[in-house]
Structure 1
């Protein structure tokens, strides 16, 4: 009996000991690095050598869209500096700055000075070898020309305790009121993934329990740490194309949007809107100080009246349903026509359906729309994705104003057939609509985000291309292609024709008030053979699609078609 008790007791102790060993092994292997980092934080005064410790937002070629880069900065540890005033005076002389601008950085916690350095200044500072003053590379998030700001978003301080608690619960990461977090766009939508859990580079001063520097240990510099918590977002954007688009917009579009899409895949290669803020520190304040008006909303995903670009859907539906043929004959009486007049007062006379499309003849499309009926019009709008605001990887909240059932209300059908009245669409949706024609009748959902990667480049989450479906027969898409070609060669969109490559598309001039202001559209593709890009241009308060948007489309296409293929 006594032997049995000893065996049981020994087994119990063995089990407890094994449990403790397993638990310790779990702590060591699973959380060991986390606890080691927390211990290091308690034992040191760190200077984080990152402007904003968080993951990068990258284009399809893994280039940072914010323009992040490394640059030398002066790092100071006030507790190690013996003759503080002498150092401040000498450093101010080297940097060419007033002493009072530098002195505050020597009174508090260790930090880096936010002043650019020339190679000569770097050499002069290092030659002095001041204890507590170093020159080290700092990772700066924003370059001189950040791209896609309206999509990438911007950063701001945590505003309240409620926001702090919500962030901590949602991402399960540690936050403080001093943290910079995403306030809009991808920075906000992927805050939990982008947020860093530890710095990738830092300089550390070892201190005792009272915060005094420990003699002999000096400053430890680590420039190549890995952060297991942060992730990097890889988008479908192409920085080269995005830069071309934004440079042209800055010259030619005060208010509006441009979308560039890759045919067949639905991947968005450029997404830009104006007006737009500067995401760099102080950029929003400068924007407001200049008295700029407008909204920080991403215009590419905002709803607008599309005007005659919607005639692509009307034409495709009428052709697919057998209501018309490309050579069907109509009579346009211009300003005398009913139920709507034509923009061309003398009238186009007897025209084929293809010619009416090329000239954007409203009376013809009003009649075709009435024959088609509200039910078919609503059905085909859905087939072309105009009821789907989803963009793969870009979770913009849906705008409930887009309600296609209103088209069926009394007296709405004629205006809806012209892309007016209750018809609303985003520039991204219009681009996806045109992509249906390029794709021989197949709709593909737009995609903006490709994947998330960890610090060592491993893909942690993929965003496969969105769902697709056949919207119209391939034969109908081929007929519409021929009509789109007429727009740029013989019709109202001739200013969108791209010499040497050819292009096709559709103009739109959506009335926004009773004083002649219109939202000018052009959406199309190039080259004619084997198209490489689908581009939509929206210019708010323009003259007309053919006069205002078409030339911008041509200039963008001329520039991006010369870029080397990947």
Structure 2
């Protein structure tokens, strides 16, 4: 019976259980039954997942420790080397043209061998091996190459360091072919200047060259492989001529080898310059002076031509000259020594820096001063005194005996006695005295820098009483005033000052700041015009200037420059014979402007040691004007 009852109970449970929903069974399961259901799932899956994750984290940790601790230094170097690098694309330097658009300076493609410091091996054995290979390719001293590599092997700089400039094409190709064995050595594309007719324009244009370490401090943003203007227009207009470098952005490996190109930043070319210089006139004047030097047996001369309407310099010639292409191609030691040891100083820019006694060329300025200050009028007659003015035991001679002269004749015939008298005073003529002469000299730009747009200009000298006491330790004498009145004694001026003064006489009394560049053409197409700048004006009455101009015209018609009166245009001028040194040698000067009524050109010609002005400088002037107003067209 008991068995039956128990059997019945199992039956009942079984019956009740089979009739339940799964959810009801799970919810009503005892703790023991629930454990029996869950445990198989934990053992099969969660325990496995747990141990797998634990093992994975453990292995990952070992790998991280290996990469950071064991191989950390290696991968740091690799990481540093594999980076985006900007390879400089040099910007073309601006070109230079004459006033008619003829090229005076061009850019010629060139290649430099450079060192990239960050890529140079740190191992001295490797750098020595590289130095040997590079020295052989570039025909350089191995020790010099090694020293340069060693001095850059601790630097992390990407900026190239010049090894050798303007290398041959086959040398560049060899280096590129062996790039994998020449770590730290690279080729940089650049350009060197080609100066057309170098010796004719060298003192104007100057030259550029590789920047030096000492120049970097004053010129931010330059690389050690960049070019920079060193002299002349190349230097004074550096900020316009220099462009903005671009970059070829590439990904490189730890050896510096390019893996892929990322992008390019295009360079911006420098601005072009349009000069006021008339290239053909410059050549003609250069050739004419060269010819006269051969005739006179002398070797030094200078000439400047200016447009009196605006102060633009039309020509500026210096002899002897030099070829600025020598500097563009890195001048050799022998060539440089030859230039600096030449007693005629071919590197010297006589036109702007040479200080010479101007002689009689400045007599028109003294004449205008005397007329303006009321010392004389246009009808005043001064006796020639038989060719000698005597003060006590001192005598002051004329270059020849002149009769009584008014101011026009005195200018035309270059009467020294007349100008002694109006400058220092004699008889019943009080004279200007040095202070008033200096005032008028300064008004015409003498004794002052003109501010021309190239460096190296001298001021010349217009002395006075104080200057003599400070420098000579002597009092001023009337004899000093006599000499100053004829452009001698302590007075000195540059050919540029003489030409600019002549231009002011020609245009009716406006002294312009002379300039060599007339336009700047930017790469964007923008054009900057260089406007005329007036230094002084309206300081003399037009009718008095006319008197002086008439005297200068009379110089051609009946005075000391009559060979010019048969030219196809009317010319006005003034000869000058200036003594220098202690051997009675003289410089030959001639100033002029033409056409007389509406001047287009004013010119000063100086032949050093050329004798009298009419014998050497006048022939040059005649030949140039004959061409300029006749044969040229």
Q: Output the TM-score relative to the length of structure 2.
A: 0.64
Q: CA shift at 1:486, angstroms?
A: 1.3
Offset at residue 59 of structure 1 (A): 2.9
Query: 1:390 aligns to what?
Result: 450
CA distance in 2, matches of 1:271, 1:513: 26
- Within the alignment, does 1:227 sit opposite 2:268 as a pair? yes
- Separation in 1 of the partners of 2:521 and 2:323? 26
Structure 2 segments unaligned to the other structure (5+ residues): 1-81, 114-135, 146-162, 170-176, 180-188, 294-298, 426-430, 469-474
Give the greater-gyration-radius structure (CA).
2
Question: Which residue among 209, 212, 219 is the counterpart of 1:167?
Answer: 219
Matches within 5 A, 1:24-39: none
Q: Give 1:404 shift.
A: 5.3
Match of 1:22 in 2: none
Check 1:399–1:440 CA distance in 2 against 1; reply closer, same or farther (3 A cut): closer
Q: In structure 2, do the counterparts of structure 1 residues 237 and 211 end up closer, same or farther at CA, with 3 Å as the change threshold?
A: same
Match of 1:321 in 2: 373
Deviation at 1:444, TM superposition (A): 2.5
Q: Work out the number of aligned pairs and report it.
A: 466
Note closer, same or farther for the CA distance 1:286–1:332 as it changes in structure 2 (3 Å cut): same
- 2:452 matches 1:452: no
- Return closer, same or farther for 1:343/1:464 CA change in 2, 3 Å cut-off: closer
Shift of 1:252: 3.0
Counterpart for residue 204 of structure 2: 151
- Asked if the contact 1:392/1:465 (under 8 Å) is kept, the reply is no
Give the equivalent residue in structure 2 for 1:306: 358
- Quote the Cα distance in structure 1 between the aligned partners of 2:349 and 2:83: 42
Q: Which moved more, 1:403-412 or 1:328-337?
A: 403-412
Q: Secondary structure at the match of 1:315?
A: helix
| Alpha-carbon distance in 1 for matches of 2:397, 2:112 | 71
> Hey, what's the Cα distance between the residues in 2 that align with 1:525 and 1:40?
67
Structure-to-structure mapping, 1:38-437, within 5 angstroms: 42=85, 53-66=92-105, 68=106, 104=138, 141-146=193-198, 147-160=200-213, 162-168=214-220, 173-176=221-224, 178-198=225-245, 208-212=253-257, 226-227=267-268, 230-253=270-293, 254-280=299-325, 281=329, 286=335, 288-289=337-338, 292-295=342-345, 296-302=347-353, 303-338=355-390, 339-344=395-400, 347-369=401-423, 370=425, 371-396=431-456, 399=459, 401-403=461-463, 406=467, 409-411=476-478, 412-437=480-505
Deviation at 1:181, TM superposition (A): 2.2
Q: Is the 8 A contact 1:207 1:214 kept in 2?
A: yes
- For residues 476 and 203 of structure 1, the distance between their equivalents in structure 2, rounded to whole angstroms, comes to 67
CA 1:461–1:474 in structure 2 vs 1: closer, same or farther (change >3 Å)?
closer
Distance in 2 of aligned mates of 1:247 and 1:265: 26
Structure 1 CA distance for aligned equivalents of residues 233 and 111 of structure 2: 32
Per the alignment, do residues 529 and 41 of structure 1 end up closer, same or farther by CA in structure 2, a change over 3 Å counting? farther
Q: 1:249 to 1:375 in 2, by over 3 A?
A: same
Report if aligned partners of 1:504, 1:526 keep a CA contact under 8 Å in 2: yes
Q: Does the 8 Å contact 1:447/1:465 carry over to 2?
A: no
Q: What's the Cα RMSD here?
A: 4.1
Instruction: State the SS of the aligned residue for 1:409.
Output: coil
Higher helix proportion (structure 1 or 2): 2
**Matches of 1:402 and 1:58 in 2, distance apart?**
36
Cα distance, 1:275–1:40 mapped onto 2, change above 3 Å: farther
| Residue of structure 1 in register with 2:7 after alignment | none
